[in-house]
Amino acid sequence: MLIILLGLWFPQSYTLVKIEESHKGPNTSCVIRPQQFQLQWQHSVEKTRWQEHYQREDQHFILTHTDLVSFGAGTPDHYPVLRQANGQVRMQVNHHLKELHWTISRRMQGQLQINQKRWPIAEDFPDYTVVHFSVQQRPFWKWWGQGDCV
């Protein structure tokens, strides 16, 4: 019984997603429990899909790799190409980030993907809403009660 009680206080890491809705009052938040998630959107100029793959580590995120269809303005060209198939390029990035700030809009068609589930987040909030991603740790009993993003 003591082990179970101690387990309830053991800190669990998770990703906290906070959506800032400046004109609608309080922020909305949810959690990502798995260590990996993806952000996907449509490139504003080329109208092609971009997808960034993130891994949560200790107190930061690692942008492990990016999938894109073509190279254009603003595309980093100094990362190694891991794979090219079916018109898509996967670039290895391995960039460490303390937190993420992502501005969404209907035009960019932003989606949050966790495992095989997709949330078309840009459809649910006004254009130019800022979405914050941060690494958090809480005891199991507090962590469990938070709502999942998808």
Residue 57 domain flag: yes
List C-alpha distances in Å: 129 to 69, 93, 101, 114, 124.
26, 26, 10, 20, 10
Do the domain assignments include residue 139?
yes
Supply the pLDDT for residue 38. 98
Distances (CA, A) of 35 to 14, 39, 94, 139: 7, 14, 15, 17
Domain for residue 133, yes or no? yes
Would you say residue 69 lies in a domain? yes
Q: Does any domain span residue 148?
A: no
Q: What is the pLDDT of residue 130?
A: 94
Predicted local distance difference test score (pLDDT) of residue 141: 66
Mean pLDDT by 10 residues, the chain (150 residues): 58 90 70 96 83 94 92 71 83 95 94 96 93 90 76
Domain housing 108: 2-143
Instruction: Evaluate whether residue 150 is within a structural domain.
Output: no
Question: Hey, what amino acid is at 35?
Answer: Q
pLDDT of residue 62: 98
The count of structural domains within the chain is: 1
H or E stretch covering 50: strand 49-57
User: Which pLDDT value is given to residue 87?
Assistant: 80
